[in-house]
Structure 1
Amino acid sequence: MTLDESRLSHRFTERGGVRLHYVEAGEGPLVVLLHGFPELWYSWRHQIPALVEAGYRVIAPDMRGYNLSDKPAGVAAYAIDELTADVAALIQAAGAERAAAVVGHDWGGGVAWAFAMRYPALLERLAILNCPHPARLLAAFRTARQLRKSWYMFFFQLPKLPELLAQRNDYALFRASVQEDPRRPGAVTDEDLARYLEAWSRPGALTATINYYRAAFRPSSMRDMGKSPRIDTPVLVIWGEHDRYLGSELAAPDPELVPNARVTRIPDASHFVHYDRPERVNQLLLEFLR
C-alpha cells in the first residue's frame, strides 16, 4: 500500500522544552508507531496507510534527536525515562479517549517495552518488531555471540569518533544498514534513501541519535534493565529471523515477565522486517489490534 503524504498532518508537541515532530493520519483508536535507529517517522511508510485504511488514527513521531524533532544536548537527555515520557506526552496531546496501542521497531521497540512498564494505564496493546525485552538483552550481553553482533553499541560509547565515521562517504555506514540489510530487492529505493539522508544531515542529529546508546550503557540504565516489572498488556512480537544485530533466540520474552505475549517469526526477513515483508507485518498488526 502506497503512502499518500497529502493525507498526513505534520504536527509538533512540546515536553520539557523539547519540541517533538510527528505525523498524524486517520480516525479511530490510536496507534503510535515508534521508529528505530537510524530512521525517522517515514520508516513506517508501509504501515501508516494500512492502519488508516483499517480505521485507526495513527501517530508516527520523529523520536527526540531525529529528523525534525529537537536534539537536546547531553547524554542524559536520551535516558529511557525521557524517551518514555515523550511517548506519554504524545498520547496525552492526542486527547485519545482510551489507551493507545504502541508499535515499536529496534530502538523504538526498546522505548515501547519501557513505556509498557512505566505507563501501563496509557497502553492497550503492545507490538514489537525485532527488539528483545530488556531482561533478555541484558542476559544476552553475557554471551560471546551477542557481543559480536552488538559491537557497534560498544563502539558508540567512544566520544566523537562514531560521529566522524558515520558521516564519512555520505553516511555510508547508515546507508548500508537501511538499504543493504533488507533482503527484499528495492525495499529502500533511492527516493526513500534521500529522506533518510536529509534526516541524518540535520545539525546535531548524529550525536543525538548515538547518544541513545551512550545513555543506555550508563550504570544506572544497565541496573534498570535488570529491574523489569511484569507487563500484563497483550503483546505481539514480530521477528525477522535474518537479523544480523540480534540473535533470534532473543525474540521470546520471559513468560513470567510478559505472560500475554505471542511471537511470530518471519524466516525470510531481516532486522528491518517491516521493509522486507510489509504486507505480512500489516496483516499481523491488524489481526492483533482488532
Structure 2
Amino acid sequence: MMKDGIRFVKAGELNFRVFVRGHGVPLLLLHGFPDNLEMWSKMVPDLVAAGYKVIAFDQRGFGGTDAPPGRACYKIENLVNDIPRLLNELEIKGPVHVLGHDWGAITGWCFALFYPDMVKSLLAVSVGHPQSYGKAGLYQKLIKGFYVLWFQASGMAEYYLLHGGFKRWMPSHPKGEEVIKEMSRPGRLTASINLYRANLLDVLLKPWPRCRVPVLGIWSDGDDYLTEEQMKNSEKYMEADWQYLRIKGAGHWIPLENPAVLTNESVSWFSRWGND
C-alpha cells in the first residue's frame, strides 16, 4: 500500500527508507519497536485525504534504513537529530505535526523537547513524557516493563526472541510473523534492542525538560507493556496544552488494531493547531 511513495534518502551519514505522499501541512509519523514505517499503512490513505503531506521513515536500525554498529549510535539524541537532517533533505520547511507510537512516541516527545520550534503539535501513542515514564511506579518497571530489563542481556535476549520468544512476548501483534522475519535479518534485532540498552539509565535517571508543544496522549486499556499512569502523569511535565484520551478495548498496537479511531483523533487534534 505504501510502495508508491517509498524512496531512499541520505541524511547525515545514514541512508533512510522514507515514505512521502500528499500535500498540505507536513505530518511526520514515527514508528516504534519492533516495527517500521509499514506500521502506518492502514492510516496513510485517510491522513492524505484529510489534506496532510505524510512523511514516514524507518528509524535507524529498522526496516530498510542503515543500522550503524554500536550501542551509542542508538542514543535518543541521535534518533532525534536524524529528523531535522531528514526533513532538510526532503525540503520540508516550517514546523510539522508529529504522530509517534511506542519508541516513536519517545522520539516524538524528545523532538518536541529539543526542537520545539520545529513541532506544531504532538500526538504520543502509548508512551508518555520521558520524565513521567521514568518516574512511573514499580508496576510499570517490574511487571509491565520487565522486558526492558531483560533486554539488557546482550546475546541472551536476541537468542530468546528469535527462538520462540517473540511469539510468547507479543502474541497480539497483528503482523507478528512479518516482525520475526524482519528481525531475523543479520544484526537487525541487536540494532533495534540497542534503543533499550543505550537509553535505559537516561530515561530512568535523567532530568528532562518540560514540553512547550501541545500534546495529545493516547493510551489503550489493553496495553500489555505500559501503564495508564505513565501517560496521564505526563501532564505534570507540560507547559503547553495537554489532552488525554483512553481507548477502550484496544491492545498496544493501536495504529494497526484501531487505525480508524486513531486517524480520526489525529485529524481532530492536528486541525486545532494549524493546517497551513
Number of positions where the alignment pairs a residue of Structure 1 with one of Structure 2: 270
Which whole-Å CA distance do the structure 1 matches of 2:149 and 2:15 have between them?
29
Q: Which amino acid aligns with 2:89?
A: A
Equivalent runs, 1:152-163 vs 2, <5 Å: 152-163=147-158
Corresponding residue SS for 1:92: helix
- Does residue 11 in structure 1 map to residue 7 in structure 2? yes
2:162 corresponds to 1:167? yes
Find the partner of 2:250 among 255, 269, 285: 269
- Conserved 8 A contact 1:215-1:221: no
Query: 1:119-134 residue pairs with structure 2 within 5 A?
Result: 119-134=115-130
Query: Does residue 207 in structure 1 map to residue 198 in structure 2?
Result: no
TM-score by length of 1: 0.87
Deviation at 1:289, TM superposition (A): 1.3
Kindly state the Cα deviation for residue 47 of structure 1 after the two structures are TM-superposed.
Answer: 1.4
Match of 2:224 among 239, 244, 255: 244
Of 149-158 and 194-203, more deviation after overlay is shown by 194-203
Counterpart in the other structure of 2:39: 43
CA distance in structure 2 between the partners assigned to 1:196 and 1:220 by the alignment: 27
- Deviation, 1:221, is 5.5
Residue 284 of structure 1: aligned partner = 265
Alpha-carbon distance between aligned partners in 2 of 1:231 and 1:246, rounded to the nearest angstrom? 21
Task: Work out the CA distance in 2 between the residues paired with 1:288 and 1:33.
Answer: 15
Conserved in 2, the CA contact under 8 Å of 1:40 and 1:196?
A: no
Deviation at 1:250, TM superposition (A): 1.7
* SS of corresponding position for 1:211: helix
Shift of 1:86: 1.0
Q: Give secondary structure in 1 for the equivalent of 2:224.
A: coil
Q: Give the root-mean-square deviation of aligned CA atoms.
A: 1.9
TM superposition shift of 1:117: 0.6
8 Å contact from structure 1 (residues 132, 252) kept in 2: yes
Q: Which runs of 5+ in 1 are unaligned?
A: 183-187
What's 2:88 paired with? 92
> Following superposition of structure 1 onto structure 2, how do residues 45-124 of structure 1 map, counting pairs within 5 Å?
45-124=41-120
| TM-fit CA distance, 1:118 | 0.5
Which amino acid in 2 is paired with 1:200?
M
CA pair 201-276 structure 1, distance change in 2 beyond 3 A: same
Q: Deviations over 1:200-258 (max 9, x none)?
A: 222210100010000012x456443xx22221211111111111111112222443421
Residue in 2 aligned with 1:196? Answer: 179
Q: Counterparts of 1:240 and 1:113 in 2: how far apart (Å)?
A: 18
Instruction: Please state how far the C-alpha of 1:59 moved relative to its aligned partner.
Output: 1.1
Change (3 A) 1:84 1:238: same
Corresponding residue for residue 185 of structure 1: none
Per-residue CA deviations over 1:57-109 (Å, capped at 9, x if unaligned) read 11111110011111111100000110101122222222123211111100110
